[in-house]
Chains A and B, each alone.
Chain A
Amino acid sequence: MEVRALMSGVFYRKPTPEAPPYVEVGDQVKKGQVLGLLETMKVFQKIKAPVAGKVVEILAENEGLIKDNQVIFVIETA
């Protein structure tokens, strides 16, 4: 299952620069769990897991620019 950006913005893997990332490849996540943040014009949105499963790919860099509809995570459902 692909998790896509709902709009363009800057992607953050962690809540603060010092904090550990929300998720790493291989992590099991619950439905609705926060995977990262997307900042668009100073507004922060949580990127949440649409399903429960395992994070198999993270396709964006921390602080990287994300285009509208770009795939950010791939989650493998059981």
Chain B
Amino acid sequence: MFSKVLVANRGEIAVRVIRALRELGIASVAVYSEADKNCLHLELADEKVCIGPSISAKSYLNIENIIRAAKETKAEAIHPGYGYLAESGEFAKELEKEGFVFIGPSPENLQLAGDKLIAKKIVKSAGVPIIPSSPDGVGTIEEAKKICGTIGYPVMIKASGGGGGRGIRICDNEEALMEEFPVAKMEARAAFGNGELYIEKYVVEPRHIEFQVLADTSGNVIHLGERECSIQRRYQKLIEECPSPLLTPEMRKAMGDAAIAAAKAVKYLNAGTMEFLVDKAGRFYFMEINARIQVEHPVTELVTGVDLVKEQIRLSSGGQLEYSFDDLIRRGWAIECRINAEDPDRNFAPSPGTVEEYQAPGGFGVRLDTHLYQGYEIPVYYDSLIAKLIAFDLTRDRAIQIMKRALGELKISPIKTTIPLYLRIMDDPQFRQGEFNTGFLKNYLLGKDEEEEF
């Protein structure tokens, strides 16, 4: 086991990792930017090193400065948290070269996870279903018609150069395809400087369900069940839960097996997540690999009793997996709400500033992962996630009751947060029944939700 680990992150995830290190008896090194001199993770760590100016590109993304900090403090391993350098193959490779352990997947895993088309191809060859799609560069409308005839309508025309949901056109039939294809081509050329298009089957009102996996250096791969992540805004998850209200034991078995097959196909190491879309008929499709600890990992921890951050650390120091999903004593239901410093009444406008009043909830079934304290100034430089509130009980209904009670107790003023939105969702009949899909949040948005105008 390591004797000292540097945590290359900030905020709640740095706090989370430093807590795990403390419990394992491992010394911790916190790093920080000039804007983060008063951030809570510095208080909790054994040592701290400033790694640069406030702007992330010059500090939390600065590989050179982070490696220098690791050398200065004689850390043996680096935990990257999520975001920043967590999925940078370059960073993992540099650390390897310098003799440090990267607590996470291999550099090769990270590179592959970043190349979604190749990852899908490999996973498909292992027998895992993927969303049917064309190869890149569908040139003519005749080609497009032929492809759509094979994969079946509705389809999405996507710009190869696009991303984040931009440049997508949905066609319900061949007539619509004839109309949309030339326009999409022109639009792609204008918007992305690249007129290449590809076509993918459009999954109507899907659910986003992902599986947590762990893998050791001997080739053992296990899964730890699913997380339901369908409540999203612009592909950003807001509420997650474990288990998913949708999955039957049979679906869980099939998807869990697929997650393990996908991880094995890419020779995955350490902790990761296999993301799937599930259509209305219950068919599932592999989407991508999240090669990191995820924001929503606590819901899995509460239901399985496995501390995923400690498992990451154990596996990266050569630990092996001597248990499987069936060995876990799983129970109850966990729900997480991501508390963001955003104003849901003003198109989710960011709300930085000083936390004048802070009151944390407590009591039965409540977990709060946060770096907040009274008087803390939330900087403008970083992500709006300021806390994760997780409720746990033996049933979903009871977990919702705990969440409502805890949301009511949590005071973070005068910062605007997503708490009022979550209070409404906890009473939403569809949410209560567990019947929702990735379009759920549209009912709670004000008109069109595209431009950044507040």
Contact = CB atoms under 8 A, between A and B. Distances in A.
Q: Do A and B bind each other?
A: yes
B452 A8 contact: no
B341 interface: yes
**Is the contact region of chain B dominated by helix, strand, or loop, or is it mixed?**
loop
B290 interface: no
B352 A40 contact: yes
B380 interface: yes
Contact of B452 (A10, A43, A63, A65): A43
A42 B382 contact: yes
Given A8-B352, A9-B380, A41 B341 contact: yes
B46 interface: no
A41 B454 contact: no
Contacts of A46: 452
A41 B452 contact: no
A44 interface: yes
A41 B352 contact: yes
Contacts of B384: 41-43
A15 to B, nearest CB: 14
B55 A40 contact: no
Interface string A45-68: 110000000000000000101000
A29 B350 CA distance: 28
Given A7-B349, A41-B341, A63 B55 contact: yes
Contacts of B352: 7-9, 40-41
Contacts of A45: 452-454
Contacts, number: 42
Given A41-B350, A43-B350, A65 B454 contact: no
Nearest to A17: B57
Interface string A10-47: 10000000000000000000000000000111111110
Nearest to A44: B452
A46 B454 CA distance: 11
24 contacts: A6-B454, A7-B349, A7-B350, A7-B352, A8-B380, A9-B350, A9-B352, A9-B380, A10-B381, A39-B380, A40-B350, A40-B380, A41-B341, A41-B352, A41-B380, A41-B381, A41-B382, A42-B383, A43-B350, A43-B384, A44-B452, A45-B453, A45-B454, A65-B380
Interface of B: 54-55, 341-342, 349-350, 352-353, 380-384, 452-454
Interface of A: 6-10, 39-46, 63, 65
Given A41-B341, A41-B383, A46-B452, 19 more contacts: A7-B454, A8-B352, A8-B353, A8-B380, A9-B350, A9-B352, A9-B380, A10-B380, A40-B380, A41-B352, A41-B381, A42-B382, A42-B383, A43-B349, A43-B350, A43-B384, A44-B452, A65-B54, A65-B380
